[in-house]
Structure 1
Amino acid sequence: MLRNWQYRLMALALALACWYIVTGREKVQTVVEMPVEVVGARPDMLVLGGMADKIAVRVRGPRALVRRLEERRPAYSLDLSGLEPGETTIPFEAENVPLSMALEVVAIDPPGVTLTADRLMERELPVRPVWTGAPGKDYELVAATALPAEVRVRGPMAAVSKLEELATREVAVNATGQGEHVVRAELDLPRGLSAEPSAVRVAVEFAVKRKSIWLKLPVRVLPETLEGVDASPSTVQVRALVPLPLARAQDLAEQCMAYVLPPSGLEPGTHQMPVRIKLPDGCTLEKVAPETLEVRVKKK
C-alpha cells in the first residue's frame, strides 16, 4: 500500500477536484427569508415606524450549499448606530448578508427601509383623576386627588413635550355619605407612551353640604344658680353655617345656646360682657348680634 503513494495521493486529489468542479457547475437560485436583527441601537432613540421584520434574499450558488442555507436561516444584522430624529433610509447591503463566499446575493426585497425615529424623553407629569358618581343630595365633592399625584412618562420627545398632565380612565365611585373613598384607575396614556406607575389610586372626598341660617336665641346667665344677675338684651341673633340635615330639624334652636358667664365676685352694677354661643357638632359660627351684652348685678 505504501508503494507509489505519491500517485495514489495525486489520484485522490484529482478525484476530489473533479467532484468539486462537477457539483460546482450545478448552480441554482432560491429565495431565503431572513429575520432582521437590530444592532447598535442607541438608548436615547426610539424607532416609531418603518421597521421590516424580515427580508427576502434571492441567492444563487451550488445546490448543496443552497440547501444548507435554507435549513440554517441566518439573520440579517441592521445597524442603527447612525439613526437620527426624523426619517432615515437604510439600504440592505448584499455584503452584510451572512453567506459563504460560494454563494451570490442576486437581489434583496425590500431593498431597504425608511425609518421614522425620535429622541426618547422622560418627564414627571401631574395626574388628573376622571370619575363619575353621586354622594347623595346632602353631600358635595371636597377634593378628588390621584395617589401618587405625579407619574414618570416615557416616550418620543414630540409627543411627551406637548403634555401638561395625564388623565386617568373614567372610574365609577359608588359611594354615598361623607368621607374619603378610594378606587384604582388606569392611566389614559396616548399611543406610544408608557408611564411608571401605569395605574394610580383616585381618592374622592365628600362632605355634607351646609347652609347659612339665622337663629334667634334666648340669653342665659350661667351658672343658673346665680341670683340677682340678668342680661340685656335677653335675646341675640346668631348666623351659623349648618349642615343641611340639621338645618331641616325643627328643634335646631333648642340644640343651640347663647349665654354669658359672669366671673365670681362681680361687683354690683352694669358690666359689658361678651356673649358666648354653643352650637351642635358640624356647625360654624359666622356672626352674633349683638356681640356684647349688658350684665346687671343687683345689690344684695
Structure 2
Amino acid sequence: MNHLVSRLFSRIWSFLRRDFWRKLIALCFAFFTYFAVQAQLAGEQKLTGVPVEIRLPPELISVGRQDFLIAVNVKGPKSSLRNFDGKDLKGVVEVRLEDYVPSMPFKVRLHPSDFRPVKGVSVSSIDPQYGELVLNLQRRISRNVPVRPKFKGQLGKNYRRADVRCIPSETQVTGPEQLVRELQEISTQPIPLDDAVTESFEYRAQLEAPSGVMVSPWRATVQVDIVRNYERRIFQDMPLLLLSEPGGNRRFQVEVLDKPRVDVTVSGLAQPVSALRTGDVKVYLDISRLSEPGIYTLPVGCYVKGDSLDVREIYPEQIKVKITNLR
C-alpha cells in the first residue's frame, strides 16, 4: 500500500516538474477566467428613486409635477449592479399633442423601453404602482393683462400720490390656459414710501408673476406724482364772541338777533389741519365801531391758530345785532 502511494506521489511530482512555469501560468489564467465569468453573470434587483422626465410639445404645459421618481426592476452584470444607483437611470416619455384631450387627466403608461441602458444595466419591469402616471395638462396660451403698481409704507400726512403710471401699462403672460384666463392684472413688487418722500419719482419695479406663469417684460417703470396734501375740516356750532373796543366806557346792550352759533370750514396741509383743536378756532363779531342804538348786520370774522391755514367758508357770513342804550 505504501508502495502504491509512493509511486502515485512520484508520478504527480514528475508531472509538476515537467514545464512547471507553463502549468503555473495556465492555472492562474484559469482562476482569472473563472472570476471574470462570475462577475459578468447576470443579476437582478429593485431600484427606487429612478427619475422619469415627461417631454411635452410646445403647445402643452403641465400644471403640477412634471418630473417623477419611481421604482423599477433592473438586470445586468453583478459587478455593475453592486454599486448601481437609481439616479444613474432615467426614463424619458414623449407626449404627443394629438393624444391630448382638454379637461381630461392625461395618463402615461411606462414601459421598460422608456429607459436607456446604462453600463449594461437595463430596466426589466416597472413596479406596478408606478406603471401609469397621471398628468394635469393644459394648453399653453398668452394674453396681455394690465400692470398694477403696489406700494408699501406711507407718505407723510402733508403729501399724497396724485397720479401713478406704469410703462408699459400691460405685460404679456404665458402659462396654463385656465390660470392665464383668470388673471386680471399683474402687480409690481412693493414700491417703498415713507415720510422722506416729498417729490415725484420713478421706480424700476419687478413684476410679481404667479407660480406657473411667465411674464414679458418682467419689469416696469413706475412714475409716481407726489403733491401736497390739502384737506378741509368743518368746525360746527362754534360759539360767537363779541369784540368791543378795549377800555371803552360805552354803556349799551348788545343783543344777537340771529343764531349765535357758526360753522367754519378750515383748509390747509393735512397735518396742521388734523392737529387743530376746537379752541384754536375763534369766531367773532367786531362791535367796536358801533356807537348808536339800532339794528346792524355785521360780517362774521374768524381767527385760526397755526401757519398755512385758511378759513374757506363761514356760515352764516353775516349776523344781525341790536344795540340798545342802557338807562
State TM-score, norm by structure 2.
0.48
SS of match in other structure, 1:98: coil
Matched, 1:80 2:99: no
Deviation of the 1:196 alpha carbon: 1.9
Within 5 Å, give how 1:85-234 maps onto structure 2: 85=102, 86-99=104-117, 105-108=124-127, 110-131=130-151, 132-137=153-158, 139-174=159-194, 179-208=199-228
* Counterpart-to-counterpart distance in 2, 1:65 and 1:146: 61
Deviation of the 1:103 alpha carbon: 6.2
Match of 1:35 in 2: 51
SS of match in other structure, 1:190: coil
CA 1:179–1:79: 2 relative to 1, 3 Å: same
* Counterpart-to-counterpart distance in 2, 1:26 and 1:177: 78
- Identical aligned residues as a percent: 20
* Structure showing the higher helix proportion among its residues: 2
* Counterpart-to-counterpart distance in 2, 1:126 and 1:119: 22
* Counterpart-to-counterpart distance in 1, 2:182 and 2:139: 14
SS of match in other structure, 1:119: strand
State TM-score, norm by structure 1.
0.52
> Does the CA contact (< 8 Å) of 1:173 and 1:183 recur in 2?
no
Count of residues in Structure 1 that have an aligned counterpart in Structure 2: 196
> Does the CA contact (< 8 Å) of 2:51 and 2:70 recur in 1?
yes
* Counterpart-to-counterpart distance in 2, 1:172 and 1:70: 50
Please report the RMSD computed on the Cα atoms of aligned residues, expressed in angstroms.
4.0
Amino acid at match of 1:35: P
SS of match in other structure, 2:63: strand
Unaligned runs of 5+ in 1: 1-14, 213-242, 249-300
> Does the CA contact (< 8 Å) of 1:135 and 1:206 recur in 2?
no
CA 1:209–1:42: 2 relative to 1, 3 Å: same
Deviation of the 1:244 alpha carbon: 4.8
CA 1:73–1:25: 2 relative to 1, 3 Å: closer
